Every structure is written in structure tokens, then in C-alpha cells.
Amino acid sequence: MNDPNSAVSPLDLDAKESTFLDANELILNMGPQHPATHGVLRVILKLDGEKVLGLECIIGYLHRGVEKIAENRTYAMFNPYVDRMDYVAAVSNGLGYCEAVEKLLNVEAPPRANYIRVILAELNRIASHQLWLGTHALDIGAMTPLFYTFRDREEILKIFEKYCGARLTTHAFRIGGCLYETYDGFEQDVRNFLDFVGPKINEYEELLTTNRIWVRRTRDVGVISGKDCIALGVTGPVLRASGVKWDLRKAQPYAAYKKFDFEIPTGTNGDTYDRYLVRMAEMRQSIRIIRQAVDGLPSGPIMAKVSKVIKPPVGEIYHSIEAPKGELGYFIASDGSTQPYRVRVRPPSFVNLQALDLMCKDQLVADVIAVIGTLDIVLGEVDR
């Protein structure tokens, strides 16, 4: 990047660009109510004909003040709230929060709890990627994958429902471990699902990977280099598709990830097509991780010794995990009372969305939709 500021330039709506014909310049408002923005995102586009000169995101429509709420709840009471940020990957949110508080308490969840956590978090990663694929393909014009992915995602939600009674906002974990022991037949259900979903992923790929329309709509669209990703703090599959082999599950392992053998899929071009391939490969790696976790599921307690009233000692902690969308971090400050002094959530969607401007520059209007889809944002997490 030559001038780092150019990556996220403020959009000066009054300034005239000195293009060939000023009359071609157009300010176009997209959203906040727009089916392709995956929620309530408003984008102001500055166009020269079909070409995007720049854009500005207006966010905050879903702001609920989660961080303020946290300061007025006990540690355990805040736990369900985090599920409502990235509501398509609630398990990951809960995992990050519980681990952060555990770290602050200097407790470690028992091995069995960690295995259960990994299984559910990876199932959730598959579910999140399936939802992403369905909606992303729908945005671009491929209607069929949506039905396929939602049909298959249902099986994951059924496992969640049987495990903890909820399908989306699961509140599956507690500070110190898991509340629920696995139900009878859990392992068999998970195994059956893995056998079922593997061929299904091939099915999605058959629909899209070599589909000419899909390739034309995604290849060389929304290109971002690894260097720009790092400068802009973009993490997750977007970073990996740009060729940076970095995954917190490997770089700074948490839960039980150290014990499993898996690879970090990366791309080379950093375009929408590569991001698609990376996420498809990630689903396969998740299957691999879950299979190892189910096979090696240890017995033993699922809850560490944590007092009923959680009162961490005075101090601050930052803990982050690899959520399906990127680095999800929690910065928690304790003043020694039962309520956190401050909880800061570092949301991957919020930070990744910042790259939209750079990725859409000089692309066509129609590609903005593709790029929003490929960033895989959830507005509940962007706005918190």
C-alpha cells in the first residue's frame, strides 16, 4: 500500500472528482434495507457510470450497547448476550467469552469440556460457512445452493438443539466448562453428520467451482493483498485467501486444538473466488477436526472448580479465538467485583468490513454485492 490512508479514505461527498465528464458521477445510496447487505448496512456509493470510485459504510443500525450491558451484569449473566452478536456462530462467541473469563480467573476447563467445545465450535464453523455460501451464492444469482446449504445446516442445528435445547443462540458453554454432559447418542449423531456432510460439500462444489458464471462473477473480484489485509486488520478466511497462513487455532492454540491434526487452507490471489475455495476447504478441515475429537473424546468432569459467584481478581486480560469470520477477541477488565469493569469485544466482522472500500474501488457496482457477501459479515456483530 503506498499511502495507508487511501485504504479507508473518508468519502467526501461534496468534492468533485476531476473525471472526464463530471456529469457521470453519481452518488447512490444502498440500504439500509437491502436484501444483499445481510442485515441493516447502509453503503453510500460514489459512481462513475458503472465504476465504483469510493464508498462509505454507515453502520450502527443494530447497535444495542452490548459492552455497556456487560458492565451492568455479572460475568455469568453476560454469557448469553454474546450469542446475540454473531448469531450464526453463537457457539464461537460463547467459547471466546468463557475462555477469556476463565483466563482471568486462572482456571482451565477440563479436557472433556474442551473436546466438547471443539466439536460444537467446529460444527458451528461448518454451519456458519454453509449459511455464508447459501446467501453469497444467492446474492450473485445462483439460487440452488441456498436450499442445499440450509437443508444440511439443519442437521447441525438439530445436534445443537439436542445438546442444549437451542438452535441458534445456544449458550452452550459456561464459565469453567460445559453445563451439559453429552446426550446419549451424541457421538453417533456427530459421526452420522460427518458422513452425511462430506459428500454434500462435494455437491456444493459441483454446483459452483467450475460453473462458468460463478467463476466469472468471482474471479479477480474484490482483490486484496495479504499486506493490505494485515494493515487493515482483516483476519479469518479473507486473510488466508490472500496467502497469509495464519490461524489462531495454530498460532496460539486454545481449547483442545493443540491435540488435533489439521491444515490451514490458503489462497493465492486474494479474490472472491479464492475466498470461496478457502472456506470450502475449511469446512473439510473442520470435519477432520471433529472426527479426531469425537474419536478421542476423553471421559472425566466437564466443569472446572469455579465458585457460584464469579469474582475475578483485579486485572485485565485479552483473549481471542479463531471465529468463523476471523479473530474474535475479548478484552476484560476486572475491578474485583462480581461485574466486569469493562468488556470490550473485538469483532471480526466490524474490522473486516472496513476493507470494503479498498476491495470495491474501481470495481463494478454489481461486484459490490459480491464483495459484501465474500467478507461474510454479520451486522449483529458489526454493530453490537
Partner 1 sequence: MPEDPKPPAARSTNTGTPEKPVAGANPVSATPPAAGAPPAPAKAAAAAPAKPAAPAKPAGPVPTLWEAALVDRLKRRFGSGIEAWTYLGQHYLQADGAVVAELLQILRDEEKFDYCVDVTALHYPKRERPFDLVWILYSFPNNQRVRVKAQFADGAGAPSVVKLWPTTNWLEREVFDMFGIRFEGHPDLKRILLPDGWKGHPLRKDYGILQQDSEWVQINLGIESGQ
- What's the DSSP call for residue 123? H
Is 8 an interacting residue with respect to partner 1 (CB under 8 A)?
yes
One symbol per residue from 336 to 375: x for binding partner 1 (CB under 8 A), - otherwise; what is it?
Answer: --x--xx-x-x---xx--x---------------------
Is 331 an interacting residue with respect to partner 1 (CB under 8 A)?
yes
When the beta carbons of 277 and 317 are compared against partner 1, the nearer one is 317
Is 179 an interacting residue with respect to partner 1 (CB under 8 A)?
no
Contacts of residue 38, defined as CB under 8 A and 6 or more positions apart, other chains included, come to: 135, 372, 373, 377, 378, 379
What are the φ/ψ torsions at residue 40 (nearest 5 degrees)?
-105, 80
When the beta carbons of 173 and 214 are compared against partner 1, the nearer one is 173
When the beta carbons of 94 and 326 are compared against partner 1, the nearer one is 326
Residue 376 half-sphere exposure toward CB, CA atoms < 13 A = 29
Check the CA dihedral 305-307-310-313 and report its sign. Answer: negative
What's the order of all strands across the beta sheet hosting 25-30?
Answer: 25-30, 42-48, 51-58
When the beta carbons of 204 and 262 are compared against partner 1, the nearer one is 262
Stretch that binds partner 1, among 142-150, 199-207, 286-294, 330-338 (CB under 8 A): 330-338
When the beta carbons of 180 and 246 are compared against partner 1, the nearer one is 246
Q: Which amino acid is at 328?
A: L
Helices (H), the chain: 66-71, 75-82, 90-105, 111-140, 144-164, 186-208, 212-218, 226-231, 237-241, 248-251, 272-295, 348-353, 356-360, 365-375, 379-383
Q: Given candidates 222, 236, 270, 312, which one binds partner 1 under the rule CB under 8 A?
A: 312
Is 231 an interacting residue with respect to partner 1 (CB under 8 A)?
yes
Residues in contact with partner 1 by the rule CB under 8 A: 1, 4-5, 7-10, 59-60, 63, 65, 67-69, 71-72, 103-108, 230-234, 244, 246, 251-254, 304-320, 327, 329, 331, 333, 338, 341-342, 344, 346, 350-351, 354, 383-384
